[in-house]
Chain A
């Protein structure tokens, strides 16, 4: 697939129709992030509150049921940190 910077004005479908369903997955909004959430598996009680509140559906669960984030789509908003009941999530700066 073409990179977005390679598209010329003649490359679009008429009316900018996208013929491939689910193509928004290719847009990695995680690039916007300046902070990332760090999950402490010891403190995580697998309640799924972070999964409910995440506005980007970027929370998933590992094989044991602990929450973790999909960094391709996590924008680093920190809502999960605020909502986490046992305080298992902290934000760290991306450059660290």
Chain B
């Protein structure tokens, strides 16, 4: 067991990057990710981390540098938020298709316009289909652990995919939390050096990122889809082995007080901790409510989700992003699809809440459950609702 220390979560993320002994960091500062970049540049400057720090002129370059460096066999790290992610998105898709295991911490923030530096999941949902493995952290410890787990899983020869660790901006990135650091010896045991099977090397020339014709593009995309799906057992193995070393075990879907629950709240990211309070309060009053926390978003954990969700009569899904003119929040839409073929499936109620850091307090979760129950009594599956909007 490591020592528990109070630490800002951004600094915990940087500590994890140092422990992972990365070779290259390329990042451009953007709120609320800035503290991670600042701290990493100090590590490099002070000689505490033997890495190349590339102070790029944009996020597009940050991801280009990381992708190129991963291609020559360097362990690479970047982090960004919101508009920065959108600017780098062209390369984000390439990194995954080229099967280069870059790790990115995404301090989630809303997208413009209007400009908002605050937290929700609209940034990451805009690149939902980029082909990266995507985790959502619930607290500071998750962030630190998942940076390490991401390298282990992403660099596995049977995976070779980049990984995003989503961490809520401000509500996680800027708060001081108790964090247990992992000692270097344990990290080294868990995380072997990055050794890709093919690298860019002038003495053995290869082409990466070539063109493919319509006659083969479909086959390349099938290969990529299968690669992401095939990462699931390695993700589970990575969590198991990390748990064996640190005592902290993670799962694709974390259940909280779900025993016999008729209603399940479903959350992703930092609001899950508030949702637990709400569940405690409802359980105290004898209400049959539990919580499912989505930790893994890609590959989507169909099996684990169905196993957890089918026990309930109703799911109350709290989305933190919006799909304009679409079927509701992205999480609820996918959960509904995942349940569609089930003969007896729970009703899915969907609330879009907490946009741009608008507070979602325990009583808000209780209110959402009440409203969903009310709609259910009318016998109709409720439409999605933007919770708390002033009308």
Contact = CB atoms under 8 A, between A and B. Distances in A.
A23 B211 CA distance: 11
Contacts of B212: 16
Interface in A6-31: 7-19, 21, 23-24, 27
Contacts of B197: 14
A84 B210 CA distance: 33
Contact of B208 (A5, A7, A15, A27): A15
Contact of A9 (B198, B208, B210, B222): B222
Contact of B206 (A8, A19, A24): A19
A94 interface: no
A9 B226 contact: yes
Given A9-B226, A13-B198, A18 B207 contact: yes
B213 interface: yes
A4 interface: yes
Chain B interface, >50% SS class: loop
A19 B207 CA distance: 6
Interface string B204-220: 01111110110110011
Contact of A14 (B160, B205, B210): B160
Contacts of A24: 210
Interface residues of B, number: 23
A30 to B, nearest CB: 15
A7 B221 CA distance: 13
A7 B216 contact: yes
B208 A4 contact: no
B98 interface: yes
Contacts of A11: 219
Nearest to A23: B207
A16 B213 contact: no
Q: Which of A15, A16, A27 has the most CB of B within 10 A?
A: A15
A15 B160 CA distance: 9
A11 B219 CA distance: 9
Given A15-B160, A19-B198, A9 B206 contact: no
A18 B216 CA distance: 14
Chain A interface, >50% SS class: loop
Interface residues of A, number: 19
A14 B207 contact: no
A16 B97 contact: yes
Contact of B207 (A8, A10, A12, A21): A21
Nearest to A8: B219
B92 to A, nearest CB: 15
B163 to A, nearest CB: 15
B198 A12 contact: no
B99 interface: yes
B263 to A, nearest CB: 42
B158 to A, nearest CB: 10
Contacts of B223: 9-10, 12, 16
B99 A12 contact: no
Contacts of A10: 223
Contact of B219 (A12, A14, A17, A18): A12
Contact of B98 (A7, A9, A16): A16
B289 to A, nearest CB: 44
Nearest to A16: B220
Contact of B220 (A12, A18, A19): A12
Contacts of B222: 9
Contacts of A15: 97-100, 160, 198, 208
Contacts of A8: 219
Contacts of A27: 213
Interface in B181-211: 197-198, 205-210
B206 A14 contact: no
Interface string A34-68: 00000000000000000000000000000000000
A74 to B, nearest CB: 19
A56 to B, nearest CB: 15
16 contacts: A4-B213, A7-B216, A9-B222, A12-B219, A12-B220, A14-B227, A15-B98, A15-B208, A16-B97, A16-B209, A16-B210, A17-B206, A17-B207, A18-B207, A21-B207, A27-B213
Going nearest first, the 5 A-B pairs with the smallest beta carbon separation are A15-B99, A9-B222, A18-B207, A9-B219, A15-B98
Interface of B: 97-100, 160, 197-198, 205-210, 212-213, 215-216, 219-220, 222-223, 226-227
Given A7-B215, A17-B98, 5 more contacts: A7-B219, A9-B223, A12-B220, A17-B198, A21-B206
